[in-house]
Amino acid sequence: MQPDKPLDGKVALITGANRGIGLAIARRLATLGASLSLSARDGNRLEAVAADLRKTGVKVAAISADLMRSQDAATLVPKTEQALGPIEILVNNAGVGSFVSVQDATERDWDEMLDTNLKAVFLLTKAVAPGMIQRKSGHIVNIASLAGKNAFAGGAIYCASKWGLLGLTQCAAEDLRAHGIRVSAVCPGSVNTEFSPHGNKDPRKMLQPDDIAHAVAMIVTQAPQSFISEVLLRPTQKP
């Protein structure tokens, strides 16, 4: 392992990786030497992103998946391992949001957000856990949100999914830490991406995708005798 490439030889699976936060995380882990398995629903855009990364010498697998479908989530891990090898790092970044009042929200809103933001994380964690347990090593990083700690009007279902994600993260960390597996959550506030509802916020004062990528890189390069269980990210100035 090269000192400037602490993830050399490691495989990282990143969901929601074709834009925004996921793409920034992919680029940052690539600079640290990781091979990348990138997943997203938009296969064309995903392959374009993968092609750009390959030009820089990074080993990349692009695997299109809709994590609302249990079968897609179930096959993502074996497809990654077939293409690149055992997974050392799983970054559960894929997420959706529909910001409407609880009285106007639909059952479809509920199913879409809970299946993507929470159930898919559970399924992927279960899928990578056996191999990580066998190797006694691994990182699972869940991109949560400050919405998992704070309530706001119009956020009922989204907040429920992120509160649930933090509970899942903390319990999984307790279940897996004895096996050398570290499970962490990154909780950003509003990030300047296509996903976040910006309203009247100044995008220059908002968190940027690279801020979240920096936090993930810090977590997965932590010394082996400890782990960072949770990171809360806020902008220096309120946008």
Give pLDDT tens digits for 176-210: 999 999 999 999 999 998 776 566 788 889 999 99
6/31 Cα distance (integer angstroms):
10
Structural domains of the chain sorted by starting position, each given as residue range(s) with its CATH number in brackets: 11-233 (3.40.50.720)
Give the pLDDT score at 16.
Answer: 96
Please indicate whether residue 127 is annotated as part of the active site: no
pLDDT, tens digit, for every residue of 11-38?
999 999 999 999 999 999 999 999 999 9
List C-alpha distances in Å: 29 to 35, 63, 186, 230: 8, 18, 16, 19
- What value does the mean pLDDT of the chain take? 95
Do 140 and 93 form a contact (C-beta atoms < 8 A)? no
Output the pLDDT for position 74: 86
Distance of CA 80 to the CA centre of its chain: 16
Quick: pLDDT tens for 74-92: 899 999 999 999 999 999 9
In this prediction, residue 157 carries a pLDDT of 97
Order of all β-strands in the sheet with 60-64: 60-64, 35-40, 11-15, 89-92, 138-143, 181-188, 230-233
Q: Is the pLDDT of residue 2 over 70?
A: no
Q: What is the pLDDT of residue 213?
A: 98
Average pLDDT, integer, range 105-131: 96
Per the model's pLDDT, the better-predicted residue between 97 and 130 turns out to be 130
pLDDT digits (tens, 9 = 90+) for 142-171: 999 999 999 999 999 999 999 999 999 999
CA 221 to chain centre: 16
* Entry pTM: 0.95
Q: Which of 125, 142, 158, 193 is catalytic?
A: 158
Please give the pLDDT value at position 201: 82
* Beta strands, E only, 16-135: 35-40, 60-64, 89-92
Angle CA 25–82–210, to nearest 5: 0
Average pLDDT score over residue span 109-116: 95
Percentage of residues in the chain having pLDDT higher than 90: 88
- CB half-sphere exposure, 74, CA atoms < 13 A: 3
Helices 20-31 and 43-54: angle between axes, nearest 10 degrees: 20
- The answer to whether 105 and 159 have CB atoms below 8 angstroms apart is no
Task: Please tell me the predicted confidence (pLDDT) of residue 207.
Answer: 95
Mind listing the pLDDT tens digit for each residue in 119-150?
A: 999 999 999 999 999 999 999 999 999 999 99
Separation of alpha carbons 98 and 67, rounded Å:
17
Q: Are 76 and 92 in contact (CB under 8 A)?
A: no
